[in-house]
Structure 1
């Protein structure tokens, strides 16, 4: 079973001290940090458009923080994937008139629930009001607030329903959980995540970014193309190391004992995902 700290999967109402902090990135784009996935926010003449919404008990705090920036309501909400630390507030926002947008598989996962074996927990189906009402297959564009918001599906990465969002004019990229800027990433095998898909998602992000792009990771502080590239190099190296051992016919237990992630563990193996866990994800999805 994976052991996650409170920021990722615990219930937000067990952390009453959580504060929602806003950081201005451009004249119209903000990032909100709290408990759970980082929130992207677009503010302008066309209204307020948000990316992810953390946990349900934090909705009022999130709305209050948005209200400090603008007096407009949240018109659209884009979910980067289906995990509760990113979609937990959906129902609360939808009841206020917010239109929820996500990949087809996000609605499917939320509708049916899932046994998340890697977390040792069962996720029940979401209420109808929490489900995305606009879904897409591969990509879509939203022409809002003087920018072009491009939403891309990246297949079988963190999950099978991940989306990354690029604001072309503002040059801001939200990677969702296809980028953990806090160490090793969580590859949700039970939700269709794979190491190859994860690497491909990072490559997609790098293809959209330039040296001036401000990158919002799913978790962790703001980042940039150089750091995202380094994250991608690490993942490729880990994949290669695990693949070489697996190709020799070694069992998962033997591969774990060989410690193929050792050179990265000090810097990356002390947060959400521990060394044995990232190696297991990679081994199982090769």
Structure 2
């Protein structure tokens, strides 16, 4: 064989191997980039769990260990908590409150029934706290609940966790020189959502009606619905200003503009799905159009990805209940 020809063939073969490696590694990198990020804030390493504490305003604090965000009002009248996180968090949450000089917990306001927001209610009720919630929240906690999305049931909450003071539309508490208003607009995340506003501190806790940098889980089994989110968020946007600290059910503190951006994302995806439903498109066709495409980088996680959110919106708008679950 001519050596120059052989040399060229070897060079071409080597180049093809290099190109294959480059494209292969690129495909792997691309696939890795498409993997949803792991949602943080849900640790089950109870022994090593740490409580993050942040002062939002004088005597008003954000605390978080695992589960939903907790807001605490601490002062001479005692302590009020909004959401209590998982049951296993209670000892460390209590220690963190004591380090802040908190007195006894007199009230716990639950933004909805899910156990990552109500699990530690029993520990504080045992010590004399009044558990406050929207009336449907108590009803949900008293019953077995089934999530079609997660394909699992949750048993009734322990009696000690149940709200002992409920309201329909609104309730106001005056504590530690603060006016604390809890209000319910309509079903959104669940049918028992409560928004809690600390007027003087200018801090608002949204529960899971707003989850920052996450797609929401719409609890269809608890009459949650996508179209309920907009009146609730719009009412909040009308009440607050550019200085309000917006506490989501999960994720970091947000601004009014970030809450509005979240609302606009929800509406964009909702309208895209609705338009295709009106065209008699199947769910498979709707999913293939990727209605969440430009939002996935910010909002998709291993808990709720773009497809999962699309499916929940579809079910909410059509009333269909599908045997669809996120890939494990």
Q: Shared fold by TM > 0.5?
A: yes
- Paired position in structure 1 for 2:74: 43
- Paired position in structure 2 for 1:205: 236
Give the alignment of 1:26-37 within 5 angstroms: 26-37=57-68
Structure 2 residue 115 is matched with structure 1 residue 84: yes
* Shift in Å, 1:228: 0.4
* Shift in Å, 1:188: 1.1
- Paired position in structure 2 for 1:219: 250
* Shift in Å, 1:192: 1.1
Find the residue that maps to 1:112 and give its secondary structure.
coil
- CA radius of gyration, larger in: 2
* Shift in Å, 1:193: 0.9
- Paired position in structure 2 for 1:176: 207
Q: Measure the CA separation in 2 of the matches of 1:252 and 1:85.
A: 31
Q: Is the 8 A contact 1:166 1:208 kept in 2?
A: no
Find the residue that maps to 1:261 and give its secondary structure.
coil
* Shift in Å, 1:182: 2.3
Change (3 A) 1:264 1:6: closer
- Paired position in structure 2 for 1:97: 128
* Alignment counterpart, residue 112 of structure 1, candidates 143, 166, 169: 143
- Paired position in structure 1 for 2:51: 20
Q: Measure the CA separation in 2 of the matches of 1:50 and 1:217.
A: 15
Structure 2 residue 190 is matched with structure 1 residue 152: no
* Shift in Å, 1:234: 0.8
* Shift in Å, 1:142: 0.6
* Shift in Å, 1:273: 1.2
Q: Measure the CA separation in 2 of the matches of 1:76 and 1:267.
A: 35
- Paired position in structure 1 for 2:28: none
- Paired position in structure 1 for 2:153: 122
Q: Name the Cα RMSD after superposition.
A: 1.6
* Shift in Å, 1:270: 3.0
- Paired position in structure 2 for 1:190: 221
Deviations 1:33-52 (A, max 9, x none): 21100001011221110001
* Shift in Å, 1:157: 0.6
Moved more, 49-58 or 269-278: 269-278
Q: Measure the CA separation in 1 of the matches of 2:79 and 2:293.
A: 44
Q: Measure the CA separation in 2 of the matches of 1:139 and 1:227.
A: 25
* Shift in Å, 1:187: 1.1
Q: Is the 8 A contact 2:75 2:103 kept in 1?
A: no
* Alignment counterpart, residue 280 of structure 1, candidates 311, 314, 323: 311
Structure 2 residue 140 is matched with structure 1 residue 140: no
Unaligned runs of 5+ in 1: none
Q: Measure the CA separation in 1 of the matches of 2:250 and 2:39.
A: 12
Q: Is the 8 A contact 1:153 1:161 kept in 2?
A: yes
* Shift in Å, 1:71: 4.0
The alignment's TM-score, normalised by the length of structure 1, stands at: 0.94
Unaligned runs of 5+ in 2: 1-36, 318-328
Q: Measure the CA separation in 2 of the matches of 1:15 and 1:119.
A: 23
Deviation beyond 3 Å, 4+ runs, structure 1 = 3-8
